[in-house]
Structure formats: structure tokens, C-alpha cells
Structure 1
Amino acid sequence: MANYRIAVLVGSLRKDSFNHKLAKSIAKLAPPNFSFEHLEIGDLPLYNQDDDKNQAPQVLRLKDEVKKSQGLLFVTPEYNRSIPGVLKNAIDHGSRPYGQSCWAGKPAGVLGVSVGAIGTALAQQHLRNILAYLDVPTLGQPEAFIQAKEGLFTDGGDIGIEESRKFLQGWVEKYTKWIEKHA
């Protein structure tokens, strides 16, 4: 059985982020041959095209970690009906300089959690548009727009609502098959 290293990018810097919790709980639902590496994106400088020829060490680290992975997992909150700036900044850095994108061809999954009733639906749609342009084959179905309700996460970091756990287990099964197919 092949092993798969998944680069996880969470678009929230908040210490008690729902999306960090979701990313960690997703990893617990995955088969044992999948490992999830959470990538640091909060220390990246703001993207500036003038820096393409001399990328910062943090940018080179990000690109190297993505290149070493067999798949991507994007877990995004929704800020003002779109993705957070920190996530877009990381994506822009990884895609540059032109023709040297670390994202191209890496299979991905997209999900997110929010207190809003539609979860992170609009942020995910914006992110899918960006990923399509960057040649990132992204799992289309099932979509996962998770609403943060009381008890969604247990103190141990598991999904605490049975219906949500079953749904996310199904999502993980589709996601891991997607990675195996496209890696």
C-alpha cells in the first residue's frame, strides 16, 4: 500500500480556529497510509512580484513542502464572502515565478467550517476558481460546507456530532480515493 503525504493549508491564523480543528479531525478519519503535514503560511511576506527572482526562505520552504507532498488539503474560513488574504498570499507565492508553480498537478480537496448557515460555500467557490487556473485537480463532490454548531468538536479533537462525523467520514473516503487516483 502506497503512502501519501498531504500538505494542509488552513486559511486561518486564529489560535482557536474552527478550521484548524476541522483539519486535525479530518486527519483522524483518514486511512493510516495518509499523513497530514500542516504548512505554516502566517510567516510568509506579502507577495511582491519584484521578489520572484529572490524568494524569501519562508516561501522556498512552503514550495519545497508542497513539492514533497502527493496531495493538498485546503481548509478555509470565509472572510467577506471570499478566502482569507493569508491563504491567497500563500497560493500566489507558490505559483511564482511564472512557470514554476508548486501547485500544478497536485490533487486537492477543499472544505471549511463557519458559524454561518452556508458554511464557507462562497470562499470555497472562489478557491476552486483559483485552483482550476493553477492546474490543481480538485475533488468536486461531495462539497463540504460545515456549520460550526455546539458540540461539533469534542475536547479530544474528534467530530462530536454523529451526523457530521458520518458525512465527513464519507468525504474523507472520496478525498483519499481522489488522491490515490491522481497522485
Structure 2
Amino acid sequence: MSVRILALVGSLRAGSHNRQLAEAAVKLAPEGVEVELFEGLADVPFYNEDIDVEGSVPAAAVRLREAADAADAFLLFSPEYNGTIPAVLKNAIDWLSRPYGAGAFGGKPVAVIGTAFGQYGGVWAQDEARKAVGIAGGKVIEDIKLSIPGSLTRFAETHPADDAEVAAQLTEVVARLHGNVGAAA
């Protein structure tokens, strides 16, 4: 039986280095692990309890919740916007935290990684994402971290999957996250 890891990317930009990092995770996933890159976060409206009503939840939010419910673990990719988590990723966490007490994260393992232009690789945003997803019910694996600095220069001409150091680190992240599936209970 294959383990399903849902990848959520906090950048909507087509050429996003975090999206490329997520694509690399899909490509480098070991046998028995499927990393699914969720498409459609841009279509999910901002969380609002008035529209989160059974029978009238927006279709994009339903798709997100269904993908999350089918996942065994989560891998979040966060750039850093003004020193914190991007709104699109926070919004996804908010939708997946509901209904209260029965959200899709439900004790499943979660790792947060990413890349950013700055010298620290987006650690502030990743720490904020860990905090939010932990409060939302995910089992954050605190010792799985990967913050790659200097994304604009490092990945200017090289896809993360073709960067040997990054590929090795990313492969280890996915393997370690996989190793926490089942241990989350």
C-alpha cells in the first residue's frame, strides 16, 4: 500500500522556486510513496464561516478537503512574504482546520520546508506555518526542516531536482516524513 503525501505550495507564481521544490519532491519520492502536488489553492476563497456550511461549501474548498482527507501526511512548501507565511498557505490551513475538532490534519504528520531569496531561506515563514498547522491539528514533525537560502540565484538556471545537494536533502525529508506515517497516532 502506497503512502500519500499531499504537497501544498504557498506561492501561486508559475515560476515559483517553492513549486519547483514541490515538483522535485514528486519526482524524487521513493517507491511506496506518492507525493501529490495539490493544484487549485488560488481557487479556494478566503476562509469564512458563513460559506463553510454543509451543502454550500465552495467546490474548490471541497476539493482541497477531499485531497487532504485522502492524504496520510502533508508536506508544506513556504516562501517568506514580508517575514511571514503567505496568505494562500494560511488560508489552506484554515480551511483544513475545520470543522473544529475534525479537520483534515487530524493528527497526521506534517513537515514544513521551503526556499526564499533571503539568507535564511524563509525560516520565519516556515516557523509560522508549523505553528498554524499544529494548532489546526496536524502532528508537526519539528525536526524535519529544510530552508534553502538564495533561491533567486541558486535556482536561476537549475531546477531543484537537478541540484544534487537539494535533491539529496529533499529525498531525506520525504523519507523521514514517510517514516512518521503510522507513528502519528
Q: 1:111 aligns with which of 109, 113, 131?
A: 113
Aligned to 1:139: 141
Distance (Å, rounded) in 1 between the aligned partners of 2:70 and 2:156: 30
Unaligned runs of 5+ in 2: none
Tell me if the contact between 1:107 and 1:137 (Cα under 8 Å) persists in the aligned partners.
Answer: yes
Q: Residues 166, 139 of structure 1: CA spacing in aligned structure 2 closer, same or farther, 3 A cutoff?
A: same
Query: Identity, % of aligned pairs?
Result: 33
Query: 2:91 is aligned with what amino acid?
Result: N
User: Whole-Å Cα distance in 2 between the matches of residues 156 and 19 of structure 1?
Assistant: 11
What's the offset of the Cα at 1:158?
Answer: 1.6
1:130 positional shift: 0.9
For these two proteins, the number of residue pairs brought into alignment is 181
Q: Does the CA contact (< 8 Å) of 2:94 and 2:136 recur in 1?
A: no
More deviation in 115-124 or 135-144?
A: 135-144
Query: Which consecutive residues of structure 1, in runs of 5 or more, have no partner in the other structure?
Result: none
1:91 is aligned to 93
Moved more, 146-155 or 63-72: 146-155
Q: Can you list the C-alpha shifts for 1:87-106, whole angstroms capped at 9, x where unaligned?
A: 11111112223233111112
Matched letter for residue 51 of structure 1: I
Deviation at 1:81, TM superposition (A): 1.0
Partner of 2:179: 177
Match of 1:44 in 2: 44
- Would you say 1:128 and 2:130 are equivalent positions? yes
Shift of 1:154: 6.5
Q: Secondary structure at the match of 1:42?
A: helix
Query: RMSD across aligned C-alpha pairs, in angstroms?
Result: 2.1
SS of structure 1 residue aligned to 2:35: strand
Deviations 1:53-107 (A, max 9, x none): 1311111111111001111110011101111111111111122232331111121
Is the CA contact (8 Å cut-off) linking 1:152 and 1:164 kept in structure 2? no
After the TM superposition, which of the residue ranges 31-40 and 149-158 deviates more from structure 2? 149-158
8 Å CA contact 1:30–1:176 kept in 2: the answer is no
Partner of 1:4: 3
Q: For residue 20 of structure 2, what is the aligned residue in structure 1?
A: 21
Q: Quote the Cα distance in structure 1 between the aligned partners of 2:61 and 2:20.
A: 25
TM-score by length of 1: 0.88
* Cα contact 1:153–1:159 (8 A) shared by 2: no
Q: Residue 20 of structure 2 contacts residue 159 of structure 2 at CA under 8 Å; is this kept in 1?
A: no
Please give the alpha-carbon distance, in whole angstroms, between the structure 2 residues aligned to 1:23 and 1:127: 16
- Residue 119 (structure 1) shift: 0.4
